[in-house]
Amino acid sequence: MHNDFKYGKKNMEDLKKVKKLLIFVPVILLAIILLVSSIYKVDTGEAAVITRFGSAARVVDDAGIHAKIPFIEKANKVSLAKRHQIEYGYRTLGGSSTMQTSDYMEIPEEQIVIVEAVGNNSSLVLTELIVEYRVADPINYLYKVDDLQNTIRLVLEDTLRNTLQSVTLDQALTDKLSIDGEIKPEIQRKLNSYEAGVEIIEVKTQNTSLLDSVDTAYREVEKANQYRNGKIEEAQKYTNTVVPKAESEATQLIEGAKAHRARVIAQANADVAEFQALYAEYVKNPEIIRERIYTDSMREFITNNNVIIDISSGDSLYKFYNIDDSNTKGAQPKVNTTTQAVGADVIDDILENEQQNMNEENENKVEEVIPND
Give the CATH number, domain containing residue 120.
3.30.479.30
Residues 103 and 155 in one domain: yes
Residues 88 and 206 in one domain: yes
Residues 181 and 170 in one domain: yes
Domain contains 220 = no
Domain contains 185 = yes
Domain contains 219 = no
Residues 93 and 170 in one domain: yes
Residues 91 and 204 in one domain: yes
* Domain tally, the chain: 4
Residues 94 and 174 in one domain: yes
pLDDT digits (tens, 9 = 90+) for 226-259: 778 888 888 888 888 888 888 888 888 898 888 8
Domain end: 185, 210, 235, which one? 210
Domain that holds residue 44: 2-79
Domain end: 177, 210, 243, which one? 210
Instruction: Specify the pLDDT at position 77.
Output: 92
In sequence order, which residues have a C-beta less than 8 Å from that of residue 291 and are 6 or more positions away? Answer: 355, 358
Residues of the chain with pLDDT under 70: 1-22, 24-25, 27, 30-31, 34-36, 94-102, 117-121, 213-222, 305-373
8 Å CB contact between 309 and 319: yes
For residue 326, which amino acid is it? S
Neighbours of 259 (CB within 10 A): 10
8 Å CB contact between 39 and 67: yes
pLDDT digits (tens, 9 = 90+) for 324-342: 555 544 444 444 333 444 4
Domain contains 373 = no
Residues 252 and 193 in one domain: no
Instruction: Specify the pLDDT at position 319.
Output: 57
Q: How far is CA 348 from the centre of its chain?
A: 81
Instruction: Specify the pLDDT at position 14.
Output: 64
Domain end: 284, 308, 331, which one? 284
Helices of type H across the chain: 2-38, 108-111, 138-143, 148-164, 169-174, 176-193, 212-284, 286-304, 344-369
Residues 126 and 165 in one domain: yes
Domain contains 217 = no
Between vectors from CA 285 to CA 282 and to CA 286, what angle results, nearest 5°?
A: 60
Helices of type H across 194-313: 212-284, 286-304
Residues 280 and 291 in one domain: no
Residues 190 and 306 in one domain: no
